[in-house]
Amino acid sequence: MNISVLGCGRWGSCIAWYLDKIGNSVYSWGLTDAADFQQLKNEHKNEYLSYSPEMTVTDDLKAAIEHGDIIIISISSQNLRNFLQRVNKYPLDGKIFVLCMKGIEQTSGKRLTEVFEEYIDTDKTPVAVWVGPGHPQDYVKGIPNCMVIDSKNETVKKNLVDLFNSELIRFYIGNDLIGTEVGAASKNVVGLAAGMLDGLGYTSLKGALMARGTREISRLIGAMGGNEMSAYGLCHLGDYEATLFSRWSHNRMYGEMFVKGESFEKLAEGVYTTDALLKLGKQYGVELPIASAVKEVLSRNRSPKDILAGLFLRSIKSEFEN
């Protein structure tokens, strides 16, 4: 297949590398002035991986869109709306888009496919999401993992799973687009909380965080009309190892360094998703204690130790209550 990957950061470059590896014709697109793009253009490699000589690296958006029968977007989720205003100027009918990013729009609380549908007719140009656990640093070493593809379009998601499956990544078909998107985005907020616990020396509380985080998000998914059980799948709980424990996790590292008073310069989507989750919690009447605690820590209202200790050591409740 002819595939274009729009965005060449850590994940975008890994996706392009993977899709080339399994036999597709791949264009890797990036912004002209971006350091990530310049390195790939000049050296055909970055700090994570090396592109094959057959891959095309370009900053020509028109050429990338024309090339791709399947177009994957892997950029910061908060930039998707502005980016789609550029993309929808080109002929798109018959193409398939895949959003490979985990986030909820901070200002509106909208899922990313909802933002996509505001700009592009999904009857003519279907959209899917690609989420799940894993880090580029592991994939390039040949360490396998499992991921999920979901869409409102049954045929599209089944065909994408068949096309993208390999021994390196086993894909599953998602059956709950709301749950898949919200679960994937919200695990980054739980990842921030995990890093904060690590930074405070409260790592032993990460088990409680995992149990409570999954239940908290399952309630939100259910209130939004999704399947509560989605929170226990690969989009959320199945991604906890990569997000709450891995040294490669940007969100976990951001949380750890934040409570230590240090700065982390790389993208941590959970910072923006925290605001979006709280917006959704208010809209759907769902209490989100973990997201609220993370927001309070990020706002520097009180001591992080007091906030996080209070989250787990507050008044006695049943185990399955928030």
pLDDT in tens, 166-183: 999 999 999 999 999 999
DSSP state of 129: E
b/e map of 117-135 (b: 16 or more CB within 10 Å)? eebbebeebbbbbbbbbbb
From 111, 141, 173, the end of a domain falls on 173
Same domain, 191 and 289: yes
The whole-number pLDDT of residue 312 equals 79
The whole-number pLDDT of residue 300 equals 85
The whole-number pLDDT of residue 277 equals 97
What CA dihedral angle connects 108, 114, 115 and 120, to 10 degrees? -160
Q: Mark the ranges of the chain whose per-residue pLDDT is less than 70.
A: 314-322
Contacts of 76-79 with C-beta under 8 Å, sequence gap 24+, read: 76/101, 76/103, 76/267, 76/269, 77/101, 77/102, 77/103, 77/104, 77/105, 77/112, 77/185, 77/269, 77/272, 77/273, 78/103, 78/105, 78/106, 78/272
56: domain CATH number is: 3.40.50.720
From 128, 152, 173, the end of a domain falls on 173
Q: Are strands 145-151 and 96-99 parallel, antiparallel or unpaired?
A: unpaired
Domain annotation covers residue 178: no
Domain annotation covers residue 179: no
From 154, 173, 192, the end of a domain falls on 173
The whole-number pLDDT of residue 302 equals 85
The answer to whether 277 and 288 have CB atoms below 8 angstroms apart is yes
Domain annotation covers residue 103: yes
269: domain CATH number is: 1.10.1040.10
102 is catalytic: no
Q: Which of 187, 279, 295, 305 is catalytic?
A: 187
- Token pair 């059980």 in the structure block, residue: 229
The whole-number pLDDT of residue 211 equals 93
For 289, the domain range is: 184-312
The whole-number pLDDT of residue 265 equals 79
- Token pair 């024309």 in the structure block, residue: 66
Domain annotation covers residue 32: yes
Number of structural domains found in the chain:
2
Task: Write down the pTM of the prediction.
Answer: 0.94
Helices 289-298 and 206-223 cross at an angle (nearest 10°) of: 110
Same domain, 123 and 192: no
